[in-house]
Copies of this chain bind each other. A is one copy, B any other.
Amino acid sequence: MSPSDEIWSAVTPEASRRLLAAAVESFAELGYHGTSTRHIAAGAGMSAGALYVHYRTKADLLFRIALLVHESVLEALRGSVEGVPGHARRVRALMYAFARWHARHHRAARVIQNELGALEDEHARRIAALRRRVRALLHDEVQAGVAAGAFDVADVAGTSRALASLAIDVCRWYRPEGPSSPEEIGALTAHLAARILRCEDGAA
């Protein structure tokens, strides 16, 4: 099982789940526009006809993947700060979780980033709303820390954006066979974020 299988572990029946994983592989290899539903179905060991029992169109598959991916990252971020006290500790927990998630789920994350432009309008609106919630989570944490005097930041919007880049870009370069584990990447990212916010010295 690849780590990203967690993202769709609750999807039933099993054939629907298998098709999501096969679609990610096809989109990663050929791009959304270069992929046929026949190719996806074959990847899942099914006929093209059997695919349509579970998903009406290729666009539906892309949307379903985008939805599950964004719900997964939101859940990881929310869970990371739940009950954590102190601005510095909270933002470190958030950045650790954010970078670690992008290492673990690098393949699905890359596919979705590359193919956001291929989403149909109504789907794109729903995904954009989820993306705004991810950005707001980080932005609000930074804002709260600045307001409390725990962080030293002149440009909250630009700095939050940069913190997001540190975590999100992990999915572009991360390779499971590389020298660092997702946890090590998470820890380094949290450390560098604390430097950016000037809250390294255990200040809460």
Interface residues of A (CB under 8 A from B): 28-35, 113-114, 117, 155, 157-159, 161-162, 164-166, 168-170, 172-173, 179-180, 184-185, 188-189, 192, 195-196, 198
Chain copies in the assembled complex: 2
A204 to chain B, nearest CB (A): 20
* Beta-carbon contact of A166 and B166 below 8 Å: yes
Contact A170 B165 (CB under 8 A): yes
Interface contact B166-A172, CB-CB below 8 Å:
no
- Taking A114-B114, A169-B168 as contacts, is the C-beta distance between A192 and B162 under 8 angstroms? yes
Picked from B32, B155, B196, the residue with its CB within 8 Å of the CB of A196 is B196
Q: Which residues of B contact A196 (CB under 8 A)?
A: 192, 195-196
